[in-house]
Structure 1
């Protein structure tokens, strides 16, 4: 089975030195491509470097909402330069966030930066990978205003409601699922998944975060350095949950991971197994569907995987 990790951060400083090893071992296990998403001006060069060294890496450049305040006055000019010099790049990670950390950043500024990058994605005819935490109503408003998006918008680690899926899909949304899905109440997750059209399903790891909620002995884990980045989330601090009552009883009682243990892109196999079980389809069928969707989405002018 071929798999496509539709959203990850292998340039994260906690694991950057291990990235070649992680990519190599993941390729051996069937992951053919990785969409590696930048977060700010400070790491775009690392994403570009990684894509030049590894044909399996699809580079993505964007300003994450939690890094908006770190942007220089020239951020948009610099972003355009990266796209000019990297024809294979998509847009990401961008978005809006009303979670606990997102409230520290002016939401109007988040929306302004988000809209500017969505408009750039439309202009460049590239897909955009979108982060949304506790702001799905606002997201829908922005997408209605700036869309539709024929090249696609990836709602990464999607944990929104089933009711919002049809309208988001109509505007061009794809729905990408990570280990965070395992923190959602089972019946709610199943209802939401079954609302997603098969041609809009993607799988991801969000590595090095979003460790699947499984027995640690069943996972591939990476020993990283948590002091290098503030993004690490323990199981009980899932930033994508819309509210505390989204967590299952098991999740609330689960202990956090040791801080040095990080997610490995090979764990996309665990996401595949979980999503397939909720959709009541075989892993082979879901792997083929999600891989084909990702190849179609990331196949645009300049892309290096159109023949993948």
Structure 2
């Protein structure tokens, strides 16, 4: 695949022979996941977020129609393309599946050439759709995710954290005295400085679930799923130090003679009842505290503490 990540196909069929045949057929081209019943299909779809599901209609515990309904009802899996594979070959059966949101319908016994052709067609559509979505979700200046994309991902990750009981950390980063920087060195220089900080923020979010986004103006936001307060605050401090290490001259700053940033963060810990807006507001409050304390520092609040506590990480 020349270094390009292989697309994922989940094969869901209660018949072991069908699973094996389809799995071996698809493995040379795609990453293949297997499920033997409806519950396993939903669990693996949620955990792996495949690009396509080949879904048997008739399964003992939960039929394919119910699996599809549940996939469509969950925002995390609603976008996944589904092709029904079924021994039911009446036109009304096919129409029923398509009306429910299936992308295609293949009858058993299936022809392997037809299966491969239809899988390839639908995965091409998935690739094209994601390319368009990426263009619509990218900030033109920094090439980070834009605010619209952040809002979408934040809501999904907050819901996932509440369900899973795993922590979710959020950091707001603001370039210190950026107006003065633009006034002193002009906006093209300000754009270059912002892009440099954005590259560091993108590098700090290394895991697939992490997200760095431009929230507005000189403010960036980092979303760190399954990351506790100590780890997230440490990462934020490293990012703060990395920005200063760029040694971008800022003679108009009252903080330092180089460009610096302030970071405020908050963590949703297991058991917390905090809402998504409240968590964001907590991070914003910590950013304000970091600025009030002299800028070029990190202030972090852990909502899992019995009494929420703020920790300040100065350079």
TM-score range, shorter chain: under 0.3
Compute the TM-score of the two structures, normalised by the length of structure 1. 0.27
Structure of higher RCO (CA pairs closer than 8 Å, 6+ residues apart) = 1
Q: Which has the higher strand share?
A: 2
Q: Who wins on radius of gyration, i.e. which is larger?
A: 2
Compute the TM-score of the two structures, normalised by the length of structure 2. 0.26
